[in-house]
Amino acid sequence: MDQGALSALRPPLRASVEAALEGRRLSADQALALAEARGAEHPALWAAAAVLRDRGRPPVVTYSRKVFIPLTNLCRDVCSYCTFAHTDDDPRAHTMSPDEVLAVAEAGRQLGCKEALFTLGDRPEARFPSHKAALRRFGHETTQSYLTAMCAMVLEKTGLLPHPNAGILGRRELSELREVSASQGMMLESVSERLCGPGGPHEHAPDKRPATRLAMIRRAGELRIPFTSGILIGIGETERERVEALLALRDLHDAHGHIQEVIVQNFRAKPNTPMAAAGEPGLVELMTTCAIARLVMGPAMSIQAPPNLSADYGPLLLSGINDWGGVSPLTPDFVNPEAPWPDIEGLRALCADAGYELRERLTIYPEYLTDDDFLDPGVRPRVRALADEQGLARDVSPEPLVEVAA
């Protein structure tokens, strides 16, 4: 790396960056020093993160071609920034029927999608008797049981690979989903307990307690589930708390090796929410957080920033990311409906201009796809049939369940 760029860093930050570039695992103090970046130190961190990425990964930027399946937008939690969840007396509240789920998945299959992202609220049956009644009409007692059945149906009838993002689950529930999915996920968001206090965005969201979420991610690791997690920036946390969240994810990954990607997601203010007037993180802030994620997590980790949440997402490639996340040719981002997906060919051209090839990946990353410990035997053949020799996505559409050699 250019020594001129390093000279812009104050000694504590420079020591941290040099340690990362030398391939050393940053100590907690070294990582936390990065949170103090100011002024001209920001682009120096971006440059270092980009160098580290290029040392550890091929010149490829990935994305997943997906359909977004909002199984239910009912939730027992209330977050101050969310417009996805509704109460059961709201006309926008909806739990999808099996026919609706299958119709979306099949339409996605015909467009070449390979991932079925299931998103839903946390245990809405605990709050809404009407939802419990709806589940019983579908033959289930719990949302998790219904989700598991829908993942199995989509996998068998369309060949799309389910990726459930179902909130807090117990060991048995995670294990059941493991049998019908290629990967799972849940954002850590933050480790700040302050955000759960009076007036905080998670005051009325018990499932957002940091200890609860960390325990859930740990359970996924113990069960050898390829797992996607990440942080949400701009909801009231400090720069230091962002790094603390990244360190918590690193510790879990060091213990279990299951975190396949870390997302850095920027808060977007939504109308008609308690945080409607809150300021949003700017591009510099987002890029620096992406860079810190790379320096903390190391060269091999996949670092993702969603392109639809930034008006100008091209510069994010300068900050050490290597993945754009899911992009759908069919369904909107139901969590951020005001933010349309970018055009895939536009993404391809942007990556090419920066010296990277845009490649489609599966919901499970190549490092996990070939490891039998991370895939249930019933899912392995269907996942591997969609992968090429690099473990990325083949240029094919999934097929309904057929006998495929493992």
321 pLDDT higher than 50: yes
Instruction: Using the structure block, give the residue that is written with the tokens 């996607």.
Output: 228
Q: Could you report the per-residue pLDDT of 216-266, keeping only the tens digit for each?
A: 999 999 999 999 999 999 999 999 999 999 999 999 999 999 999 999 999
Predicted TM-score (pTM) of the model is 0.96
Apex 167 CA angle, 164 and 168, nearest 5: 125
Is 274 within a domain? yes
Mean pLDDT of 11-36: 97
pLDDT at 133: 96
140 pLDDT higher than 80: yes
Percentage of the chain exceeding pLDDT 70: 98
Mean pLDDT of 12-28: 97
Is 238 within a domain? yes
405 pLDDT higher than 50: no
Is 357 within a domain? yes
* Side chain identity, residue 344: I
Apex 390 CA angle, 313 and 332, nearest 5: 40
- For residue 323, what are the β-bridge partners? 62, 304
Assign 3-class secondary structure to 240-283: HHHHHHHHHHHHHHHHHCCEEEEEEEECCCCCCCCCCCCCCCCH
Sign of CA dihedral 347, 348, 350, 356: positive
**Cα distance between residue 235 and residue 248, in whole Å:** 18
Is 20 within a domain? no
CB contact at 8 A, 361 and 392: yes
**Cα distance between residue 382 and residue 364, in whole Å:** 12
Containing domain of residue 308, as a range? 60-68+179-384
Mean pLDDT of 38-64: 97
For residue 270, the number of C-alpha atoms closer than 13 Å in the C-beta half-sphere is 20
Is 160 within a domain? no
CB contact at 8 A, 98 and 147: no
pLDDT at 406: 45
Q: How confident is the model at residue 316 (pLDDT cuts 50, 70, 90)?
A: very high
Mean pLDDT of 362-367: 98
CB contact at 8 A, 36 and 13: yes
pLDDT at 1: 65
90 pLDDT higher than 50: yes
Is 250 within a domain? yes
Which CATH number does the domain housing residue 275 bear?
Answer: 3.20.20.70
285 pLDDT higher than 60: yes
Structurally, the chain folds into a number of domains equal to 1
Instruction: Using the structure block, give the residue that is written with the tokens 């219904």.
Output: 146
Is 30 within a domain? no
pLDDT at 392: 98
Mean pLDDT of 302-327: 97
Is 122 within a domain? no
CB contact at 8 A, 148 and 180: yes
pLDDT at 401: 78
Cα separation of the two ends of the chain:
44
**Cα distance between residue 56 and residue 36, in whole Å:** 25
CB contact at 8 A, 295 and 20: yes
Q: Are strands 259-266 and 302-304 parallel, antiparallel or unpaired?
A: parallel
